[in-house]
Structure 1
Amino acid sequence: MTAAAAGAARGGVAGRLSDLLWRRPSVLLALLLGPPLLWLGLVYLGSLGALLVQSFFSIDEFSGVIDRTPTLRTWGELLRPANLDIIARTVLMAALVTGASVVVAFPIAYYAARYARGRWKAAFYLGVMLPLWSSYLVKVYAWKLILAKEGIVGWGFESVGLGWLLEAFLSVPGIGGNSLSVSPTGTFLVFVHVWLPFMILPIQAALERVPGSLVEASADLGASPGRTFRHVLWPLALPGVVAGSIFTFSLTLGDYIIPQIIGTSARFIGLAVYQYQGTAGNVPLAAAFAVVPIAVMGLYLWGAKRMGAFDAM
């Protein structure tokens, strides 16, 4: 009898709690979202706040010890021409990689959304996702061998008698080098290859939601394919393009492995953070550099919102 009464009491408490949650959905939402938001606030936002605080410290030039007296000296050091050159180089590379990824990804995503069916669609997803299953470092080092002077790219140019063309391209300042594996062009190619799946999938998902009847109606009304693309496909696919560009742009801004393995001695933001924090021990300057991608992405998202890129999301 006592056990039955206890069970009834437990059932009563559970029932009252269920009624409370049914009558007050906001309480249920708070219980569901509270733990992850608390984790996000303490770990992620807390670490970002600590990073920002450290950027207002400085390094004692004689002892190399961090001086925790608040100062803007580190930010002044960040604005030196050499460091501004690192920031400009990284942002330019991220913009070029993002633009090239859009150009390459859009036709692939359009074909998959409009024409791929059944097994072909499964093959599309497998082909896009398969590179993500392999090791990041393996892909980068594979490109190192492919782009080397003795690699398959150089061999291909020599085989068709165009070795002189490759040499002429590599002699161009700013984009060339001793070989493609130690040039800004090689860095660009590897970035595009590694981040391309992150651009294809969002665009494909956006194009899946575009009714085929809209494209057909545009053609029936006399619009050329280019005009249909500008006024029908592109505006409706823009949220997917922006979503993909957030990945490619931000990942390029912060990556330090590809510039370290592929490319010249010119530094990027991620490599500068790695070197200042790990090798030089200048944590305040590394923290200031790490804040730059956050600020750049904030400006990028603000500009995308002003353009209406998130209206259809």
Structure 2
Amino acid sequence: MTLTATHPAVPAILPPRGGLFGSLSDTLWRNPKLLLFLMLTPPLLWLGVVYLGALFALLLQSFFSIDEYSGLIDCRFTLKTYGELLQAANVDIIVRTVTMAAAVTVASAVVAFPIAYFAARYARGKWKVLFYLGVMLPLWSSYLVKIYAWKLILAKEGILTWLLAKLHLLGLLDAWLSLPVVGGNSLSVSFTGTFIVFVYVWLPFMILPIQAALERVPGNLVEASSDLGASPGQTFRNVLLPLALPGVVAGSIFTFSLTLGDYIIPQIIGTSRLFIGQAVYAHQGTAGNIPLAAAFTVVPIVVMGFYLWMARRMGAFDAL
């Protein structure tokens, strides 16, 4: 018994659809390059005009100067502002900021590595969900609320001082706070407190890239290293760390750059000695010296440009 098709044959090419939207859809389907152009034009215009245009205007203003008599901006091209940037007080601000950013990056990597290793090697199922929730949850809360909460924790009458007093370790804290650079009247008004809060706030940005890099490390490599007689330290130095290094560098891009540009944490927790972000805010908002503020903002751009160039050579972008 032979079955015959009862449905009419469907044409290989459908007829053009009517209406404005139908004609537009047909035109975009026939011209994929036009569709790509229309999709990319708005974000590229935003990037080119708003972002790159603002950076160019900022760079241009750094080559202006302030007239010493009128206090107005002299728009003639000069390197005078960069000469002011190299004064001892301004160099001290730059060195202080870069040093803090480097210290925060190293500390974040040290704290984040074991957490990321546990999540990549041992956390499964609901435990991995809890890991991501625990890492991401601090990012969902208010930035200012976290900082002011830490100010209360680190204050002289805060819970940390109370806990150290209960453990009879208050003398150790007082000895640390008596040190000339890192100390102060309390942790909430010291570089140590600023460092602690920086590490806490940016730590998730270090954990996630390292965890992503460690996920790519085959487990049999670690087992083979152990079978060949390597100690845990040798396995870490020769197997885990080289393979996870792109993730470490990728996380350091976030922690280093975010610390370089932040001014809220040093403004709330720390001493009166300025960081780059505070200097930019002060010169542009209070002093009205926009050229010097622009020159200060060029410093993180140059530092991060060099840092990103080094990170790219180390393959860090593969772990982003």
What's the TM-score once normalised by structure 1's chain length? 0.91
Find the aligned partners of 1:28 and 1:225 in 2 and give their Cα distance. Answer: 55
Aligned to 1:281: 288
- How many Å separate the matches in 2 of 1:102 and 1:174? 23
Letter in 2 for 1:7: G
In 1, the alpha carbon distance for the partners of 2:141 and 2:49 equals 32
Deviates more, 1:28-37 or 1:275-284: 28-37
Select which of 156, 159, 176 maps to 1:169. Answer: 176
| Correspondence for 1:64 among 71, 74, 77 | 71
How much has 1:30 moved relative to structure 2?
4.0
Q: Measured at CA, do residues 14 and 91 of structure 1 come closer, stay the same or move farther in structure 2, by a change above 3 Å?
A: same
Identity of aligned pairs, percent? 74
Partner of 2:241: 234
Matched with 1:296 is 303
Structure-2 separation of matches of 1:60 and 1:272: 20
- Cα offset, 1:216, TM superposition: 1.5
Q: Is 1:192 matched with 2:203?
A: no
Aligned counterpart, 1:217: 224
Q: Who is 2:12 aligned against?
A: none
Q: Tell me the distance in 1 between the aligned counterparts of 2:22 and 2:150.
A: 63
Q: Which residue of 1 aligns with 2:124?
A: 117
> In the alignment, which residue of structure 1 is the partner of 2:103?
96
Distance 2:43 2:220 in 1: 41
8 Å Cα contact 2:105-2:256 kept in structure 1: yes
Query: Residue 12 and residue 175 in structure 1: after superposition, are their counterparts in 2 closer, same or farther (change >3 A)?
Result: closer
State the match for 2:9 in structure 1: none
The question of whether the paired residues in 2 share the 8 Å contact of 1:56 and 1:71 is answered with yes
Equivalent in the alignment of 2:252: 245
- The answer as to whether partners of 1:236 and 1:312 remain within 8 angstroms in 2 is no
* Deviation readout 1:108-142 (Å, 9 max, x if unpaired): 01101111111111111111111111111111111
Q: Which runs of 5+ in 1 are unaligned?
A: none
What is the rounded CA distance, in whole Å, between the counterparts of 2:294 and 2:179 in structure 1?
35
d(CA) in 2 for partners of 1:288, 1:6: 58
Change (3 A) 1:150 1:8: closer
TM-superposed deviation, 1:153: 1.3
Task: Tell me which amino acid in the other structure corresponds to 2:292.
Answer: L
Could you give the per-residue CA deviations for residues 72-125 of structure 1, whole angstroms, max 9, x where no partner exists? 111100010110010000000000000000000011011011111111111111
CA-CA distance at 1:16 after TM superposition:
5.9
Tell me how far apart the structure 2 counterparts of residues 99 and 169 of structure 1 sit (CA, whole Å): 21
Q: How many angstroms does 1:245 deviate by? A: 0.8
Task: Count how many residue pairs are aligned between Structure 1 and Structure 2.
Answer: 306
Give the C-alpha shift of residue 61 in structure 1: 2.1
Matched letter for residue 290 of structure 1? T
* Letter paired with 2:57: A
The correspondence of residues 5-154 of structure 1 with structure 2, limited to 5 A, is 7=18, 14-15=25-26, 17-21=28-32, 29-154=36-161
Q: Distance in 1 between matches of 2:210 and 2:168?
A: 39
- CA distance in 1 between partners of 2:286 and 2:71 (Å): 12
* Residue segments in structure 2 that go unaligned for 5+ positions in a row: 1-14
Contact in 1 for aligned 2:250/2:316 (Cα 8 Å): no
Could you list the per-position Cα deviations for residues 12-69 of structure 1 after superposition, in whole angstroms to 9, with x for gaps in the alignment? 7754642442xxxx66544433321221111111100000001011112222211111
Matched residues in 2 for 1:65 and 1:97: separation?
38
TM-score, normalized by length of structure 2? 0.89
Q: Which has the larger radius of gyration?
A: 2
Deviation at 1:163, TM superposition (A): 1.6
Q: Which 10-residue stretch deviates more, 54-63 or 194-203?
A: 54-63
